[in-house]
Amino acid sequence: MLLCFVAASTFWLLNALNKSYSTQTTYPVKFIYNQQQLVPLKPLPEEVLVNVTAKGWKLLRKALRLEVQPAEIHIRNLPRNNYLLGSALRPALVNAMDGLQLNFVVTDTLHFNFDRKISRTLALQHDPKQAVAAENYEVVGPIKFEPDSVTFVGPSSIIRSFPSPYPVRLPNVGLTASAKLEVPITHASPELVAASLEETTATITVKALVSEERQLVPELVNVPKGKTYSIQPQPVVVRYQLFDDSVALLNRELFKAVINFANYNPQDSTIATELVQKPVGVRKITLQPQRVKVIPVQD
């Protein structure tokens, strides 16, 4: 009984596979392009929907992907349009199909997006927006990198958007001493862009800062003729920082502040304090107060 059932089923299956059928199915496509000159910006379509007629054997082999030759779509230059109409795929499909009769292409449009592949070398520079040294410390001179440049390869639209020089950020901040750090090189669209370096070595020189302050008596300039004024408060205080190895060498007598009557504000009788001279090597300078009150002196 079982043998009869198996024999009948086999006969039915063989008979069915020898018949012709029309059906809607997918068929693989493969883009052929110069990978040294072009790069797709998104994954390329791998199949299209078609309506075909074929014997059951052929449809079964196609469903199982047995010896199925993809239809080749040749992209020879950068396309003007980012699509192909389904009707334009017919010659490639007919040429690839073995034992399948193409009735029509169901897929209306095949979308893709290619860009030119370019190479661009950029000098490396520390991102100026990143603070590196701890409070009361400062980086001396530029941060040096070795290697000092990176080459990117990828889509022109992405590569040309990268700034030059190319900014990198240090993995460690708040430094209180000079250091050498391994710095990762990150970039946009890593799935599309290749970099010649994954990291570079940064050499950073850091020195400690010393805070000081000094009282100054500002010089009055551009005072109206025949007038005498006093200022309040007086003196003003200049606060600044310098490297600890420069403390003994600093000429503090070189600080000079002025009160310029050309900048007089009659509404509140005040003038901004200005530092017009300072010794070499001082930084982070502030004057307090920033404005002083000007008081006429009666004869």
Q: Which range is least confidently modeled, 139-148, 214-223, 226-235, 241-250? A: 226-235
Same-domain status, 56 and 127: no
Q: Which structure tokens are listed for 28? A: 């693989």
pTM value is 0.74
Same-domain status, 199 and 164: yes
Whether 20 has a pLDDT exceeding 70, the answer reads no
Cα separations in angstroms, 156 against 44, 104, 152, 212, 218: 18, 37, 10, 53, 58
- pLDDT category at 15 given cuts 50, 70, 90 is very low
Most confident of 31-45, 98-112, 226-240: 31-45
Total domains in the fold of the chain: 3
Dump pLDDT digits (tens) for 147-166. 999 999 999 999 999 999 99
Whether 13 has a pLDDT exceeding 80, the answer reads no
Q: Are 179 and 204 in contact (CB under 8 A)?
A: yes
- pLDDT category at 229 given cuts 50, 70, 90 is confident
Same-domain status, 185 and 103: no
- Mutual orientation of helices 56-63 and 2-17 as an angle, nearest 10°? 90
Strands 20-33 and 71-75, sheet pairing: parallel
Cα separations in angstroms, 146 against 2, 67, 172: 79, 52, 17
Whether 104 has a pLDDT exceeding 60, the answer reads yes
Percentage with pLDDT > 90 across the chain:
67
Same-domain status, 83 and 131: no
- Residue 245 counted as domain residue: yes
Strands 109-111 and 199-204, sheet pairing: unpaired
Same-domain status, 81 and 23: yes
Owner of token pair 């946009």: 188
Same-domain status, 261 and 278: yes
Q: What pLDDT shows up at residue 6? A: 42
- Residue 237 counted as domain residue: yes
Give the C-alpha separation, 132 to 170, whole Å.
8
Whether 257 has a pLDDT exceeding 80, the answer reads yes
Q: Write the CB contacts of 17 (distance below 8 Å, at least 6 apart in sequence).
A: 55, 56, 57, 60
Q: What pLDDT shows up at residue 275? A: 95
Q: Which structure tokens are listed for 289? A: 């107060």
Dump pLDDT digits (tens) for 190-214. 999 999 999 999 999 999 999 999 9
* CA distance from start to end of the chain: 137
Percentage with pLDDT > 70 across the chain:
88
- Residue 236 counted as domain residue: yes
- pLDDT category at 185 given cuts 50, 70, 90 is very high
Cα separations in angstroms, 91 against 71, 94, 112: 9, 5, 19
- Residue 239 counted as domain residue: yes
Q: What pLDDT shows up at residue 53? A: 82
Q: What pLDDT shows up at residue 191? A: 95
Structural domain including 62 reads 16-112
Q: Which structure tokens are listed for 80? A: 């003007």
- Residue 5 counted as domain residue: no
- Tell me the β-bridge partners of 128: none
Same-domain status, 200 and 285: no
Same-domain status, 124 and 199: yes
Give the C-alpha separation, 37 to 192, whole Å.
14
- Residue 270 counted as domain residue: yes
- Residue 176 counted as domain residue: yes
Owner of token pair 């014997």: 55
Tell me the CATH number at 180: 2.170.120.40
Pick the last residue of a domain from 62, 95, 112: 112
Pick the last residue of a domain from 87, 112, 137: 112
Q: Are 71 and 93 in contact (CB under 8 A)?
A: yes
Cα separations in angstroms, 183 against 188, 210, 264, 289: 17, 29, 51, 43
Tell me the CATH number at 278: 2.170.120.30
- Residue 148 counted as domain residue: yes
CA 23 to chain centre: 49
Selected residue with higher pLDDT from 206 and 59: 206
Whether 216 has a pLDDT exceeding 70, the answer reads yes
Q: Are 84 and 110 in contact (CB under 8 A)?
A: yes
Q: Are 71 and 92 in contact (CB under 8 A)?
A: yes
Pick the last residue of a domain from 112, 137, 171: 112
3-state secondary structure 102-147: EEEECCCEEECCEEEEEEEEEEEEECCCCCCECCCEEECCCCEEEC
